[in-house]
Chain A
């Protein structure tokens, strides 16, 4: 999705990050591919980002330009394989960014 956003608008102010849960470090290598350059942040027991934000598995938390939470889009509830759900998430990001 990040590639699509930037391809459509190189000046886009939308950025996507992944946060991999503590204890799943070995999965990073398998997920990363030559064409996958999205930052994958590895959570740690010391930082505990998952707990800090109170998120659930497959939550996509959207922040506005000031770092305030706008909402969450869960990828278990919404299947990005359905174009409607994919377009909904994309639209939410673009609306939030004013693009």
Chain B
């Protein structure tokens, strides 16, 4: 009993202290926490408890994106598949997670493919083409892998090809530069001079439309 309680206490401590996944990212591995915890509570074999404790340790680690999920998922699968491959509590949850882990890189690939012909540079176009080709070469290997861990490894390598292409094509650069002023926009009131505008002649101010996102284009019309 003492041997089993220790892993349970450890699990409780880990879950209580577990840092949340990176801000804004919902980890695909998070759904595994409950079934693994529940399975640990019912574990009678010390070796099972030890492996489940290890799994919870992995799940408690910070995961701030899909690459992190795949890396930790690989380790998790090595631990869980060793002893719980057919387990009624663990296996369905693990299978569902793996389906999500498989789908997520495909979504990244689709997003990269959507930029083809639109990156604005030859270098970017070449990077996108190469990234897609490399992804298409590596990703299917994951489906042919004999273990979940190795499948996750292949998907991670495929994902890295997509990420590299995005970096080279500069697709992730923030499009907005810092504004010319900080905080609240200085107020002004100017008349609408467009003869075809419904508001012709009416004064317009940045304060006119609270709750509305506005874009102010400063031009010199000729």
A contacts, CB < 8 Å to B:
13-21, 24-25, 27-44, 47, 49-50, 52-75, 77-79, 82-85, 87-89, 91-93, 96-97
Q: Given A52-B188, A60-B215, A83-B120, 10 more contacts at CB 8 Å?
A: A19-B216, A24-B222, A38-B194, A39-B199, A59-B218, A61-B185, A64-B213, A68-B185, A84-B118, A96-B213
B contacts, CB < 8 Å to A:
115, 117-120, 124, 171, 174-186, 188-199, 204, 206-207, 209-222
Q: Which residues of B contact A32 (CB under 8 A)?
A: 194-197
Report the separation of the CA atoms of residues A16 and B195 in the bound assembly, to the nearest whole angstrom: 17
Inter-chain CB contacts under 8 Å: number: 205
The A interface, classified by DSSP as helix, strand, loop or mixed, is mixed
Q: A53-B181, A53-B185, A72-B179 are in contact. Are A41 and B215 (CB under 8 A)?
A: no
- Taking the closest CB of chain B, its distance from the CB of A29, in whole angstroms, is 7
- Taking the closest CB of chain B, its distance from the CB of A91, in whole angstroms, is 7
Contact: A15 with B209, CB < 8 Å? Answer: yes
Report the separation of the CA atoms of residues A24 and B214 in the bound assembly, to the nearest whole angstrom: 23
Contact: B194 with A93, CB < 8 Å? Answer: no
Report the separation of the CA atoms of residues A56 and B207 in the bound assembly, to the nearest whole angstrom: 21
Contact: B176 with A62, CB < 8 Å? Answer: yes
Closest residue of A by beta carbon distance from B186: A52
- Taking the closest CB of chain A, its distance from the CB of B11, in whole angstroms, is 38
Closest residue of B by beta carbon distance from A47: B188
